[in-house]
A and B are shown apart, each in its own frame.
Chain A
């Protein structure tokens, strides 16, 4: 049983006064694929390294399979890690790289060879087994790093931005392979990335971190539909959600002259209850459409035509900028004035203008 629990875990770097990870609480199920995502400096890598034993746990505990890992050195944690720069042993062949951990455990050579060959087959590395890392391409090295991890059959996989050194196309390809592999092997995996697309597509659940603190830990759908604060709302989803803080009017939020975003009844009630004069609203570009009946009048600044869809960058009278998605065939022209409205199935999210916490 390889469940993972972060129990109020914190970490400070030596010589620093800032908490790299601040009281992190996570409960990860056995076999789950969890993604830690966040901008640089959010503490996601540190949290991963704490799990692997490469950083000290300065406060709190981390439990793997129920066992307290405080004071347990990396080599005794039965964790395999895929590093961002792969960290392959340059003086060993691919086969030796993959078999190293087994060799250290005293596994006999014949069995080592068998296991290495099995893993190599899964990852399509069989022809490279006798090569040294220097003679491999980036993608191949990445696969060797993965192979080294899966040969060990550990209780946990840790992956630290393993795709960030690959080119875009290869990244997408490898992404699906990793997800499929994990599903097949069923090993609990903690995966770190700064790319929210990776997070959304690969994770069973995603933990969003910022400045060392956990913002929200939920399934991708929940993060998308019900972000717990403005940061998560703006971080998840591409292009980013439109987030603006504007004054409240009688029936909605004033985005500019002739530009009012209407809100639902119960949303207005909530706002009155809280006694707010202004509020941060969020609406995703894909839920904002161009429609004559819209109450938000804007001027088009730029149209990005992606072939399958187009994104229209606009601004309302007061300078508020909004991005809306539309059909490329019917996209408006530059400097045209159009009217926007919320898609019938869309949602306008409300966040407290100061704390950013979700309202409603």
Chain B
């Protein structure tokens, strides 16, 4: 009996070591004209920042030119000048306020978000509503009594005042964001953990937190951005000792003399940390911003 023996086809199972070779991916870079447009727009948006950093390295005389100079002899003098004017304190203050307030936000917000994400008790909606509504109230309405209160308890020009206020400023958004991340965890996982013998606390630690940690990181990043860049509270409630970078920057503006390069140096130092953080953790940032939007 003549039969053609069928080709032994390599088994498709993932465990098989003799899987057929993958076709080499042909990378065809079609030139997309819209890609070029995107590039132009991107560079355009970025330009002010680029110019700021560039100017920071110029000497004053190069900064003050009618025709913008791109070629010049770079120098760090202006940065040094900024340091001489006491930017160190401001940097430390910003760092402290941002870090501690973000930590507090997480400490307070993670349990709150978790509680709000469980099977909704009637009050859940109300609590969520309340959180969001605090965000809606313009801070300006509270700034006066805040000033009075803060000065009465002796926290004027004290970095802790900012820590507390930044925590309150970021908590609502943080709770909302983290809640949506908690909601993504399938309820069955909690049930399975419970059946396996885990208490709620244990289940949180071993199963849930690892799953939401990227979301928490994203939330933290957003908090850092808003806290570091905050100006209104800082300028109202601090003077010299507790001033943060944005306040320092504003105070830097002199009325006379050539100081643009110095100004750009100061601005660069004020903006750079968060910009870099945002760039590095870009994916987390995007993820965080699309939080409740996606699910």
Contacts and interface: CB of A to CB of B under 8 A. Distances in A.
B210 A91 contact: yes
B196 A83 contact: no
A104 interface: yes
B15 A81 contact: no
Interface residues of A, number: 27
A85 B94 CA distance: 47
B200 to A, nearest CB: 10
Contacts of B164: none
Contacts of A148: 192, 196
Interface stretch (B51-59, B98-106, B107-115, B183-191): B183-191
Interface in A111-160: 127, 137, 148, 152
A87 B192 contact: yes
Given A75-B196, A85-B186, A104 B191 contact: no
Q: Give the secondary structure class of B's interface.
A: helix
B139 interface: no
Contacts of A19: none
B195 interface: yes
A178 B39 CA distance: 58
Given A87-B189, A89-B189, A127 B15 contact: yes
A80 B202 contact: no
A91 B203 CA distance: 13
A313 interface: no
B197 interface: yes
Contact of A80 (B195, B206, B210): B195
A81 B195 CA distance: 7
Contacts of B206: 89, 100
B75 interface: no
A128 B198 CA distance: 25
A52 B195 contact: yes
B41 to A, nearest CB: 37
Given A75-B199, A127-B15, A87 B194 contact: no
B189 A100 contact: no
B128 interface: no
Contacts, number: 62
A329 interface: no
A272 to B, nearest CB: 55
A76 B194 CA distance: 9
Contacts of A14: 119
B120 to A, nearest CB: 10
A83 B198 contact: no
B207 interface: yes
Given A91-B211, A127-B15, A75 B197 contact: yes
Nearest to B119: A14
A90 B192 CA distance: 12
Contacts of A87: 186, 188-189, 191-192
Given A90-B211, A127-B15, A101 B189 contact: no
Nearest to A76: B197
Nearest to A83: B188
B16 to A, nearest CB: 12
Interface in A34-73: 52-54, 73
Given A87-B189, A127-B15, A75 B195 contact: yes
A141 to B, nearest CB: 13
A320 B119 CA distance: 49
Interface string A218-244: 000000000000000000000000000
Contact of A91 (B119, B192, B196, B207): B207
8 contacts: A54-B191, A74-B195, A76-B197, A81-B195, A87-B191, A100-B196, A104-B202, A127-B15
Given A75-B197, A85-B186, 6 more contacts: A52-B195, A54-B191, A77-B195, A83-B188, A87-B188, A88-B192
Closest 5 CB pairs of A and B: A101-B196, A87-B188, A87-B192, A91-B210, A104-B197
